[in-house]
A and B are shown apart, each in its own frame.
Chain A
Amino acid sequence: MKATKDSPSAIAIHNRLPVLRAERNLSRQELADAVGINFQTIGYLERGDYNPSLELAFKLSEFFGLPIEAIFSRTPFKPLSETLYNKG
């Protein structure tokens, strides 16, 4: 069983979905249609109220053309600007 916020087994999975969606100018509905889920679920994922299954994580990774670890992480993401400009 996948974890929702109320589940005792829920672990915090951080994600960059809001940033990626905003970058591509996508609505929740458009992203949801692309990966075959309800748009409410995108909202739950973005807020961290629901942790995706491996299948859904792969679908999102394929849709954005990014590795899963670029979208989901167990530790909070640094801001993208910091990651880009402090690289070298």
Chain B
Amino acid sequence: MTTMKQEPLNFKLTRVTPKWAFKQQARRILVLTLAASPIALGILPIIVPQTFVYFFAPLLLIPILCFVWLIGATYARADSPDEYLDEREIVVRNEVYLDSFRIIGAIIALGFIVFTIFPDTRIDAKTVFYLLFPISMFLPTCVLAWKQPDPLEE
């Protein structure tokens, strides 16, 4: 007896993604917004008085929404197992992971260069973890969203 394979949650995100987000240009804007949002959210408490910071809390939704739409716009292919992909999609997903690995490698190498040039720099392990964990989580989807051309008509 065969059992129906249940649709994974990340596939369902495709249905809540607006149509415009599927275009490559829109996807690239979403990637840039996602990349810029931690910087913007980091600067905000510095430029806005402490009492008003909480008014900007809904801005936290922007990176979340960007990431959800990016997963939907790429049909969650960056995170899908082989059984949900055809042979080309598997090749593309593997290339995306290779690119992501190279980018993370470059970030780590850059960190070592900075520490070599400025040996007095102090950064704790937690900060490195909080920096690299979201990057490694988001990167494959972002790379795929950036590279994938506009979808074809059926």
Contacts and interface: CB of A to CB of B under 8 A. Distances in A.
The answer to whether A and B interact is yes
Interface of A: 1-2, 4, 6-7, 27-29, 36-41, 43-44, 50, 52-53, 55-56
The DSSP consensus for interface residues of chain B is helix
Contacts of A28: 152, 154
B127 to A, nearest CB: 35
Nearest to B149: A49
Contact of A2 (B88, B152, B154): B88
A51 to B, nearest CB: 9
A40 B91 CA distance: 14
A3 B118 CA distance: 43
Contacts of A29: 154
Given A28-B152, A36-B86, A38-B85, 4 more contacts: A1-B91, A41-B89, A44-B88, A50-B91
A72 B116 CA distance: 54
Nearest to A3: B91
Contacts of B154: 27-29, 39
Contacts of B95: 4, 6-7
Interface of B: 85-89, 91-92, 94-95, 151-152, 154
Nearest to A56: B87
Contact of B86 (A4, A7, A37, A43): A37
Contact of A53 (B85, B87, B89, B92): B87
Contact of B88 (A6, A36, A37, A55): A37
A2 B87 contact: yes
A38 B151 CA distance: 12
A52 B152 CA distance: 18
6 contacts: A28-B152, A40-B88, A40-B151, A41-B89, A52-B87, A53-B87
Contacts of B87: 2, 37, 41, 52-53, 55-56
